[in-house]
Amino acid sequence: MRTKRYAAERQLRAEQNKEYEESLKVDRAKRTAKLEKERLTREWALRRQQRYFVISCYRATLREENYRCDKQDRITIQFRFPNGARKIHSFSPHDPIERLFEAAHLHESCPIFFQLFIYPRKEIDSLPEWFRTIMAHHLADVIGKETSIEQLSNGNLSPEASHPITPWLRTFQEVGLENLTLVLVQNVD
């Protein structure tokens, strides 16, 4: 009788130990997953902070310049930012199109990651290569998939969009921007 009772207790204890080990494995897996998620979140935050630092340093180096151009020969552009703020800036038709990016970037209402459009909704490729690279990595983190730099040509995620001429070497005149053009600044963050 005792042997049966001891055997039943041993079997019960063995089942309880087995259930405990299985529960412990599940708890360890959950803890490992939680720690991995926290590590990835910290890495993402660090990468984001580094990107923001690079862009902030660039923004700090930009200076509001008065580009000398004749009153008759200038192109006046109005920027409209996501928060409704506006800025008017004048350019020479022979200025490189990257100056459009710089002028938008100087405004305090400009988001860190942005695209430029002329009204009605035509994209302007004025992003310098270094900014495209940073934005591609940022969007890869935000969207959760790799975004190639080529997909950011013309300031969007469309792989078919590309220009035969290096975008930042083109001028306002070559792009076709005219006087009193409205440029929309869109946040992509």
Percentage of the chain exceeding pLDDT 90: 20
Contact 147, 139 (CB under 8 A): yes
* Domain shared by 107 and 174, yes or no: yes
* Domain shared by 16 and 80, yes or no: no
* Domain shared by 174 and 89, yes or no: yes
**pLDDT tier, 145 (very low <50, low <70, confident <90, very high otherwise):** low
Does 157 fall in a domain? yes
63-81 residue pLDDT tens: 655 555 566 678 888 999 9
84 Rama sector, left if φ>0, alpha if ψ -120 to 50, beta otherwise: left
Does 96 fall in a domain? yes
Select from 181, 19, 23, 36 the least CA-distant residue to 100: 181
Mean pLDDT of 84-88: 92
* Range of the structural domain that residue 91 is part of: 75-187
Does 175 fall in a domain? yes
Distance CA 102, CA 31 (A): 46
Select from 95, 102, 62 the least CA-distant residue to 174: 95
pTM check: above 0.75: no
* Domain shared by 86 and 139, yes or no: yes
Domain final residue pick, 29, 61, 93: 61
Looking at every residue in the chain, the average pLDDT score rounds to: 78
pLDDT at 164: 36
Mean pLDDT of 173-183: 81
Name the burial class of residue 156, with classes exposed (0-12), middle (13-18) and buried (19+) by CB atoms within 10 angstroms of its CB.
middle
* Domain shared by 48 and 122, yes or no: no
